[in-house]
Amino acid sequence: MDVEELRQMLAHEKSALPLPESLLERELAPNLNLVESALAWQESADNHAIICFDDPNYPSFLKQISAPPPILFIKGELDAFFPPTLAIVGSRAASRAGLQLAYRFGSELGELGFGVCSGMAVGVDGSAHQGCLDSGGKTLAVLGTGVDVIYPKRHRKIYEDIQAHGAIVSEFWPGTKPFSGNFPKRNRIISGLSIGTLVVEACRKSGSLITARLALEQGREVFAIPGSVLAENNQGCHDLIKDGAKLVENVADIIEEVSALCDFHLEELKSSHHIGEENASDLPFASLLASVGYETTPIDVVVEHSGKAIELVLEQMLELELQGWVAVVPGGYVRIKRS
Q: Are residues 235 and 292 in the same domain?
A: no
Q: Sort 224 into a burial class: Cβ within 10 Å, 0-12 / 13-18 / 19+.
A: buried
Q: Are residues 251 and 318 in the same domain?
A: no
% of the chain residues with pLDDT over 90: 54
Question: What pLDDT is attached to residue 322?
Answer: 79
Average pLDDT for the chain:
84
| pLDDT per residue as tens digits for the range 168-223 | 999 999 999 999 999 999 999 999 999 999 999 999 988 999 999 999 999 999 99
Q: Are residues 192 and 320 in the same domain?
A: no
Helix (H, G, I), strand (E, B) or coil at 52: strand
Q: Does residue 63 fall inside a structural domain?
A: no
Q: Are residues 108 and 207 in the same domain?
A: yes
The DSSP line for 171-223 is: SSPTTPPP-TTHHHHHHHHHHHT-SEEEE-S--TT-HHHHHHHHHHHTT-EEE
Domain that holds residue 208: 78-260
Q: What is the domain-level CATH number for residue 295?
A: 1.10.10.10
62's enclosing H/E stretch is helix 60-63
Residue 265 and residue 54: Cα distance in Å, rounded? 18
Question: What pLDDT is attached to residue 223?
Answer: 97
Averaged pLDDT, 296-302: 84
Q: Are residues 287 and 194 in the same domain?
A: no
| pLDDT per residue as tens digits for the range 211-261 | 999 999 999 999 999 999 989 999 999 999 999 999 999 998 898 788 766
Question: What pLDDT is attached to residue 279?
Answer: 42
Q: Does residue 56 fall inside a structural domain?
A: no
- pTM of full prediction above 0.85: no
Q: Does residue 174 fall inside a structural domain?
A: yes
pLDDT: which is higher, 109 or 281: 109
Amino acid in position 89: V
Q: Is the pLDDT of residue 281 over 70?
A: no
Q: Are residues 139 and 85 in the same domain?
A: yes
Q: Is the pLDDT of residue 34 over 50?
A: yes
**How many domains does one find in the chain?**
2
Q: What is the domain-level CATH number for residue 214?
A: 3.40.50.450
Looking at 232, 260, 288, which one is the last position of a domain?
260
Q: Does residue 123 fall inside a structural domain?
A: yes
Question: What pLDDT is attached to residue 56?
Answer: 87
